[in-house]
Chain A
Amino acid sequence: DQQVKQNSPSLSVQEGRISILNCDYTNSMFDYFLWYKKYPAEGPTFLISISSIKDKNEDGRFTVFLNKSAKHLSLHIVPSQPGDSAVYFCAASVRGNNNDMRFGAGTRLTVKP
């Protein structure tokens, strides 16, 4: 039961351009959404999050947008840098049950110099 889906397994962009990573979810009970970044041989690290009461959260080059009616969120990276090349996971937590976080399958981003 894949409640969080990242339909693009990979994305390649040129350095300096915008990277847009997408994520869809099916469970309307999710109330908090997170993006994690993972480099090879390392565990995922937290990148940015958004609460369901907001539709946008920005942190430097990273912005997450949430469209609750479409059950869709996206991560924008502007401008993209080669060091951003990694696998990005979106995750969602269920209202009242933050202990059980659901992750998407991940999108491998490659930023070409």
Chain B
Amino acid sequence: KAGVTQTPRYLIKTRGQQVTLSCSPISGHRSVSWYQQTPGQGLQFLFEYFSETQRNKGNFPGRFSGRQFSNSRSEMNVSTLELGDSALYLCASKKVIGSLEQFFGPGTRLTVL
């Protein structure tokens, strides 16, 4: 069974631009969560999608948004990029929304110059 895939793996953008990251969950998994990982902050929860609906949201500004498609694939968008948005963005998939067992993708490394 293929794992969680994220594209692209690396991205370089400049301040003010916007970016879209993609995540394909494990086949059969319907929940996708997004996390931001920065040195010293660990993984910070961004949001979770299930059945194309955002079910939970972390404490991030509105510049961070996401969506989920009918095939459970999810995209995360960050608008008006700031230097502080440079981070590793991880997505994780779960079979059902209440499950504690989640599987992470390798992440997308975003660098904002």
Interface residues of A (CB under 8 A from B): 1-2, 4, 6, 9, 32, 34, 36, 41-46, 49, 89, 91, 93, 97-106
Contacts and interface: CB of A to CB of B under 8 A. Distances in A.
Contacts of A1: 59
B104 A45 contact: yes
Contacts of A34: 100
Contacts of B28: none
Contact of B42 (A46, A100, A104): A104
Interface in B30-55: 31, 33, 35, 40-45, 48, 55
A24 B18 CA distance: 36
Contact of A44 (B58, B97, B104): B104
Given A32-B100, A98-B100, A103 B59 contact: no
Contacts of B92: 43
B90 A44 contact: yes
B104 A43 contact: yes
B56 A99 contact: yes
Given A32-B100, A99-B33, A100-B56, A6 B42 contact: yes
Contacts of B104: 36, 43-45
A108 B17 CA distance: 33
B101 A99 contact: no
Contacts of A41: 106
17 contacts: A2-B41, A4-B42, A41-B106, A43-B4, A43-B90, A43-B103, A43-B105, A43-B106, A45-B103, A45-B104, A49-B100, A91-B43, A98-B99, A101-B45, A103-B35, A103-B43, A105-B41
A101 B35 CA distance: 10
Contacts of B62: none
Contacts of B41: 2, 105
B58 A100 contact: yes
Given A89-B42, A99-B48, A105-B41, A43 B100 contact: no
